[in-house]
Structure 1
């Protein structure tokens, strides 16, 4: 009993430290990305950096001697097996993600948050000479803290960190410290000016949650979101493999695909598809959507990632899901804000294979009035998105699985 108390006290202390440190780091990360985005949106000439920007990102990783860091996949492996995560991952992903947003690449920030938090978390455990199992917990705690500080969703962040490493199994041993770190980091990030991600549905939908027609319409959007997630992940995987085989020089790939993104930015002006695109989601919730927008954003993101830009694909997935949901809502006669929310939740679930987190994030961002719809969205998307996800290192422990 005494030993358990000592371990619990030690992990709790580290959780508090990580909550504070990653609240500051995540808050600054958000402010830097936001500043880079605002500057780019008001100075369109910055887009001309797209062909060379990815080269600079590659050179940055070479400078840090961190070219084969494994990215988010490495962090997920560490979260379940104590595989080391280099501290160099933190500054390299921080700088490269901010620069990617500055150039106008269609990338996100939450994948970067997992790397930033996981790297700092693991190495904090190492600094305090914790056991291998405790360092693994610190990786998950760090992911939770950084996700929360950047997104402002502590409940979802805590669940995400215990669900993402192994599909089909929650690492409940890490739940309490992840919750502690998530709430502390969000509070610290707020103090330095990083806001929460909150969106308001145009109306409450409690009355619809028992109507069969509404449930069927939501289920159709959820299935579409799961299939869109499957397509997106397949394009990222196969596109990356094919281009690496055909164009072995990564600097040439950077110039070529960066140039294609630049050309597309002029074909589709207004920077509608550049950057993460969070601001565009508000328009989708009002019903201002074009049928092909989710496909174009998907193409922008795949090309940006192949070029070598950093940041992740989760926030672009929100954009894709929101655009798809709003479009399908217009066809099905469903409120655009509800359809948009369902699309976002289903797309997130499909690309991450995290249905519990998807359900939680729907409630945390949009409120609990539509919780039954978010449950449907998570369930159907998880089923129809199959075994593919953004992270190949995810271990799958599912019934009826051959893996």
Structure 2
């Protein structure tokens, strides 16, 4: 059978498998988030013990899986040959524990790692040539699409995130197919999709509006850059200052838990979906929401808790956008949507994925503002990324 047909058949299989696992992971995480929101006063005090449990699980069953997204990037760049299957249950359980006890973290890293691990394993079993590239991208796309149900954004995210400035075009068709299959599968199994219909569309016919777009692009780009650089420095500093992983997560999570409890009653725990909801429903957004969510997410991830960064980036961008919209005299909901996409794009050092996020989550009426703001944020970011293993094209 022609290799391309094998890739497409495997893409369908990967889409079904990853979409089903994403649905399980996402629905459990939704329940955990709701439960923790009600009982956070009883759960946050146990955050240090939860951190110790996560660390023990990884060191007991597969320490190599601690590499997380770095393992995926290294495999795609031919720096390693295998991704341990143990990564899948470990990263799922570790993320559930992190969120149950109030850590500020995301979820996309889990989905992408699950998709990449499954697709890489299937590629090896089928002895496909170049499976570490095409099938790995296919699995990453399926993981992202199954969780967020944005198949176009997922496809381009997977194609452009490993090597900044380069698109893995050979993987386009299987990645797109796997993304749609994963999206339909997770939706069929009851995982809801986040989507917002924006009430206004922005006309760019005035200089003042164009000036506001430029300011938004710069602000969102700098925010994503700040998150990426601070996360890398925090992880490095924590490892140097407290080399023992048990001491690092056990000791630092004590003040982390206290701070999360004291700052507005657990407002900055978990994914940050509460801030996203507030941003798009005219509820209270404080001027400091975005920076505190940024700080707590960086601290949570830098000491060893599991999860991802993208959903917190969505919440940081949305809350900052809602604030800037009020200051600039623009629709806060539209600016929140622009920040939702652009801060994610800046921090991940991707260009096309955030533009498609804007299309698939907020509709096509404001595609030109989304494209302009995301392009500006991408340029302002200056090639920084939350993924330290990300490679850059050198011209």
Global fold match (TM > 0.5): yes
Decide whether the 8 Å contact of 2:235 with 2:303 is kept in 1.
Answer: no
Give the Å deviation of 1:361.
0.7
Q: 1:128 matched to which residue of 2?
A: 126
Rounded Cα–Cα distance in structure 1 between residues aligned with 2:321 and 2:356: 18
Rounded Cα–Cα distance in structure 2 between residues aligned with 1:306 and 1:134: 32
Rounded Cα–Cα distance in structure 2 between residues aligned with 1:259 and 1:200: 41
Q: 1:310 matched to which residue of 2?
A: 306
Decide whether the 8 Å contact of 2:44 with 2:261 is kept in 1.
Answer: no
2:138 paired with 1:141: yes
Q: How does 1:77-226 map to 2 (within 5 A)?
A: 77-81=74-78, 83-131=81-129, 133-201=130-198, 203-206=199-202, 208-226=203-221
Q: 1:72 matched to which residue of 2?
A: 69
Give the Å deviation of 1:180.
0.6
Q: 1:283 matched to which residue of 2?
A: 278
Decide whether the 8 Å contact of 2:65 with 2:87 is kept in 1.
Answer: no
TM-score by length of 2: 0.96
RMSD: 1.5
Q: How does 1:261-280 map to 2 (within 5 A)?
A: 261-280=256-275
Give the Å deviation of 1:39.
1.3
Q: How does 1:326-341 map to 2 (within 5 A)?
A: 326-341=322-337
Decide whether the 8 Å contact of 1:217 with 1:332 is kept in 2.
Answer: yes
* Structure 1: tracts of 5 or more residues without a match: none
Decide whether the 8 Å contact of 1:66 with 1:89 is kept in 2.
Answer: no
Give the Å deviation of 1:275.
0.2
Give the Å deviation of 1:68.
5.5
Decide whether the 8 Å contact of 1:215 with 1:373 is kept in 2.
Answer: no
* CA deviation vs aligned residue, 1:25-74 (integer Å, no higher than 9, x gap): 11111011111111111212111221121111111111222346421122
Decide whether the 8 Å contact of 1:154 with 1:183 is kept in 2.
Answer: yes
Rounded Cα–Cα distance in structure 1 between residues aligned with 2:322 and 2:180: 32
Q: 1:249 matched to which residue of 2?
A: 244
Give the Å deviation of 1:384.
0.9
* Structure 2: tracts of 5 or more residues without a match: none
2:15 paired with 1:15: no
Q: 1:370 matched to which residue of 2?
A: 366
Number of positions where the alignment pairs a residue of Structure 1 with one of Structure 2: 392
Give the Å deviation of 1:266.
2.2
TM-score by length of 1: 0.94
SS in 1 for 2:106: coil
Give the Å deviation of 1:287.
6.1
SS in 1 for 2:366: helix
